[in-house]
């Protein structure tokens, strides 16, 4: 929706064809909101784990809009249980959505990105921190998220000569999403979160930078905004709780 305010064309790939009891909206309502915000959108019902669905979404985007300039790897599953408690079905789900999905969608878009004047791949994944506490607390999830980050690291190098940028973006704090509400602490966690708009504004700043000069970075949202001259982040915190630092980051939240 943030990109749509600048007139972006957006292709959405998602499974949610009909409303889910715990998740508001569908891929179709999301597309409608993008168009209401000023962009154009097409909704593709499919699964990022399925090769044919990804290929269909990429082909649909290229045909509808005449090419592809930007790929955003946003799909992600989360399960923070330790190794002894997690079942392999959940392990496989996270690997297939997070890591394989990122790899597959990025791979499928490369031929189109190579034709773009300012091509970007942006993956919502953390900086790789080998502090044992992350893997030691939730190994399966850490493997899946760091797999996404390794895609950024590798693609940035592999595609450098083609001037296709590959970067990751991660929030300083937890973000007020359905995942936080339903899985990570309910109302208390939502009160300690920043709003999704901080990620949207940060992503927009990254994706409008020259691709040849902006690749291989693991960006943190507030640092991106600071580099754009935005240091008052109070508008992104609507709750009353103290902000909670997100996973994979050390330290507190800067004032």
DSSP H helical segments within 37-177, as ranges? 51-65, 88-94, 101-113, 132-137, 139-158
Homologous superfamily assigned to 47-236: NAD(P)-binding Rossmann-like Domain (3.40.50.720)
Query: Strands, E, within the chain: which ranges?
Result: 9-14, 40-45, 70-73, 119-123, 164-170, 218-220
Catalytic annotation present for 141? yes
pTM greater than 0.85 (yes/no): yes
Query: Which whole number is the average pLDDT over 34-61?
Result: 98
Q: What percent of the chain has pLDDT over 90?
A: 87
Q: Indicate which residue of 91, 141, 146, 236 is catalytic.
A: 141
| Confidence label for 254 from pLDDT (cuts 50, 70 and 90) | low
Beta bridge partners of 165: 120
* Polymer length of the chain: 255
223-236 residue pLDDT tens: 999 999 999 999 99
**What tens digit of pLDDT does each residue of 93-145 get?**
999 999 999 999 999 999 999 999 999 999 999 999 999 999 999 999 999 99
What pLDDT, on a 0 to 100 scale, did the predictor assign at position 153? 98
Q: How far is CA 137 from CA 55, 95, 143, 171, 186, in A?
A: 35, 17, 12, 20, 21
Compute the distance between CA of residue 124 and CA of residue 224 in angstroms, rounded to an integer.
14
By C-alpha distance, which of 28, 248, 22 is closest to 141?
248
Distance, CA of 202 to CA of 223 (rounded, Å) = 9
Cβ-defined contacts of 60-66 (< 8 Å, 24+) = 60/11, 61/9, 61/11, 61/112, 62/112, 64/9, 64/11, 65/9, 65/11, 65/40
The residue extents of the domains of the chain are 47-236
What confidence score (pLDDT) does residue 122 get? 99
**Structure tokens of 161?**
């000569």
């Amino acid at each position: 929706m943030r990109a749509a305010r600048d007139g972006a064309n957006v292709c959405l790939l998602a499974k949610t064809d009909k409303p889910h009891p715990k998740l508001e909206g569908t891929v179709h309502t999301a597309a409608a909101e993008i168009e209401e915000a000023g962009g154009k959108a097409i909704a593709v019902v499919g699964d990022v784990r399925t090769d044919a669905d990804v290929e269909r979404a990429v082909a649909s985007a290229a045909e509808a809009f005449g090419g592809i300039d930007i790929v955003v790897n946003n799909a992600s599953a989360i399960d923070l249980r330790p190794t002894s408690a997690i079942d392999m079905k959940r392990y496989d789900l996270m690997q297939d959505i997070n890591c394989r999905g990122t790899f597959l969608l990025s791979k499928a878009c490369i031929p189109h990105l190579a034709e773009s004047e300012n091509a970007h791949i942006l993956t919502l994944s953390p900086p790789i921190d080998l502090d044992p506490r992350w893997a030691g607390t939730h190994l399966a999830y850490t493997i899946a998220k760091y797999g996404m980050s390794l895609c950024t690291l590798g693609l940035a190098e592999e595609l450098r000569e083609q001037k296709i940028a590959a970067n990751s973006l991660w929030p300083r704090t937890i973000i007020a999403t359905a995942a936080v509400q339903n899985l990570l602490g309910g109302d208390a966690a939502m009160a300690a979160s920043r709003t999704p708009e901080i990620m949207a504004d940060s992503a927009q700043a990254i994706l409008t930078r020259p691709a040849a000069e902006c690749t291989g970075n693991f960006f943190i949202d507030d640092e991106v905004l600071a580099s754009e001259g935005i240091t008052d982040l109070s508008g992104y915190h609507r709750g009353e709780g103290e902000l909670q630092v997100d996973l994979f980051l050390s330290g507190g939240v800067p004032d």
